[in-house]
Amino acid sequence: MKEILLCKYGEIVLKGANRRFFEDTLAKELRFRAAAFGSFNVRYAQSTVFIEPKDEYCDLDGMFEAARRLFGIAGVVRAAVAEKNMESILATAKSYLPQFLEGKKTFKVEGKRSDKAFPLSSPEISRETGGAVLSACPWLRVDVHNPDVTVRVEVRDTAAYVHAGQFKGAGGLPVGAGGKGLLLLSGGIDSPVAGWMMAKRGVKLEALYFESMPYTSEQAREKVLTLASLVARWSGSMQVNVISLTHIQEELVKHCDEEYFTLLLRRFMMRLANKTAALRGCEALITGESLGQVASQTMQALNVTGALAETVVFRPCIGMDKEEIVQIARMIDTFETSILPFEDCCTVFTPRHPKTRPVLSKVEEQEQRLNVDELVEEAFSTLESFYIRAKF
Ligand code: ATP
Ligand code: MG
């Protein structure tokens, strides 16, 4: 018996004239991921992607998990391929389905015939398959209203597909369909989640991490690279750029008032993010800021830092509670890494009483004590890049 994966489109089905573009973007990413798990035939028909192993060496389990992390796919299911006749469909149902129905109490069958030349109607397909399932799994009962599991039989153009239990896919839009964004990635909980959320909307990610050695450690950098690789399992391979803020922070401490340290530092981050985005062809900045979470994330502080942005700034966590952010961090597997206790450049030289309602003109006055352009150029020259290859 041959087993394949069926992936159902997410929001792509709502697209009109440019649907083809979204489908092509998805196809490209899917083929790329499939290559890591063996030799697959990937084809498209009726809002479904068919992923068919070409030989017995394919890792269908691995491909299944990778497909579940692919944005643009709303649901993934493993299915057995049957010939387009009831004899084959029933035999396949009996031999293939019991493994999915163990421990379940109730089921129903949904037959669907998209090939109208097939001699049985959809309700007839359902009834006959239901009988076959009951004979193979006598512990089951039929419950058409609230079944534990729904068995599906899809009679399509070239074959029939039998399966039980659809799994939720990642949803969203295919990565790359929404342009490329620069994720300001710290070692915290919020920024990996922010990157994931924008990747879900089709944004291809590139990351920027600011460090401050020796005040921040080699391990802090390793942690950020690990976070990037975890996000990359969903969003695809990404480049991580690293810039040193050490000299900027030392100058800030020497010349500026303590209550402004964090804000001034964040404005330097913005300037350097602008330059990195321009260099790398990113059309948006992405941060993990959440309104009111810390002093630098009040509305007034966000205005003071945001004033420098040269592209749109996406802050997908802005309206979320910490608990909601943590929930996503756990789901995408970044949480445990994020809580490892390494310092961030924002947590060295932190003011005891940071300004929570800063005024732009006062912040600019502070900056006049520094040679801003020179510091930015110098920091930018420290840029190093790492390519994080996604391990799907
Ligand atoms: P996170 O959990 O993402 O670290 P946070 O709650 O610690 O966020 P801040 O430290 O104020 O908040 O940072 C706000 C945002 O600024 C981060 O979400 C991230 O996008 C960016 N940022 C902070 N520190 C760095 C850094 N060292 N490198 C790159 N971006 C950073
Ligand atoms: Mg942080």
**Please, what is the average pLDDT of the chain?**
95
Q: Six-digit token pair at 101?
A: 């129905």
Question: How many angstroms is it from 186 CA to the middle of ligand 1?
Answer: 5
Task: Give the span between the Cα atoms of 55 and 325, in whole angstroms.
Answer: 41
Question: How many angstroms is it from 185 CA to the middle of ligand 2?
Answer: 8
Q: 249 in ligand 1 pocket by Cβ < 6 Å? A: no
Residues 6 or more apart whose CB falls under 8 angstroms from that of 14 comprise none
Looking at the DSSP bridge assignments, the partners of residue 385 are 241
Q: 184 in ligand 1 pocket by Cβ < 6 Å? A: yes
* Per-residue pLDDT at 174: 95
Q: 287 in ligand 1 pocket by Cβ < 6 Å? A: yes
Q: Locate the ligand 1 atom nearest the alpha carbon of residue 212 and give its number.
A: 27
CATH fold of 3-168 reads VC0802-like (3.30.2130)
Give Cα separations from 151 to 91, 101, 161, 376 (angstroms). Answer: 14, 9, 11, 61
Q: Locate the ligand 1 atom nearest the alpha carbon of residue 290 and give its number.
A: 6
* Per-residue pLDDT at 195: 98
Task: Give the span between the Cα atoms of 344 and 164, in whole angstroms.
Answer: 47
CATH class (in words) of the domain with range 180-388 = alpha beta
* Per-residue pLDDT at 369: 97
Task: Give the span between the Cα atoms of 45 and 209, in whole angstroms.
Answer: 42
Ligand nearest to the CA of 289: 1
Nearest CA to ligand 1 atom 10: 346
Q: Is the pLDDT of residue 122 over 90?
A: yes
Return the minimum-mean-pLDDT range out of 6-10, 140-144, 347-351.
347-351
295 — pLDDT class (breaks 50, 70, 90): confident
How much is the average pLDDT of 115-135? Answer: 96
| Amino acid at site 73 | I
pTM: 0.93
Nearest CA to ligand 1 atom 6: 190
**What is the tens place of the pLDDT at every residue in 16-58?**
888 889 988 998 899 999 999 999 999 888 888 999 999 999 9
Question: How many angstroms is it from 182 CA to the middle of ligand 2?
Answer: 16
CA 178 to chain centre: 13
Q: Is the pLDDT of residue 196 over 90?
A: yes
Q: What is the DSSP letter of 166?
A: P
In the chain, what are the domain boundaries? Answer: 3-168, 180-388
Question: How many angstroms is it from 190 CA to the middle of ligand 1?
Answer: 7
150 — pLDDT class (breaks 50, 70, 90): very high
Closest CA to 110 of 80, 160, 150: 150
Q: 289 in ligand 1 pocket by Cβ < 6 Å? A: yes
* Per-residue pLDDT at 64: 96
How much is the average pLDDT of 245-254? Answer: 96
**What is the tens place of the pLDDT at every residue in 339-352?**
999 888 877 788 98
**Mode of pairing for the β-strands spanning 160-164 and 167-168:** unpaired
Return the minimum-mean-pLDDT range out of 39-48, 91-100, 137-146.
39-48
12 — pLDDT class (breaks 50, 70, 90): confident
Question: How many angstroms is it from 253 CA to the middle of ligand 1?
Answer: 20
**What is the tens place of the pLDDT at every residue in 162-194?**
999 878 999 999 999 999 999 999 999 999 999
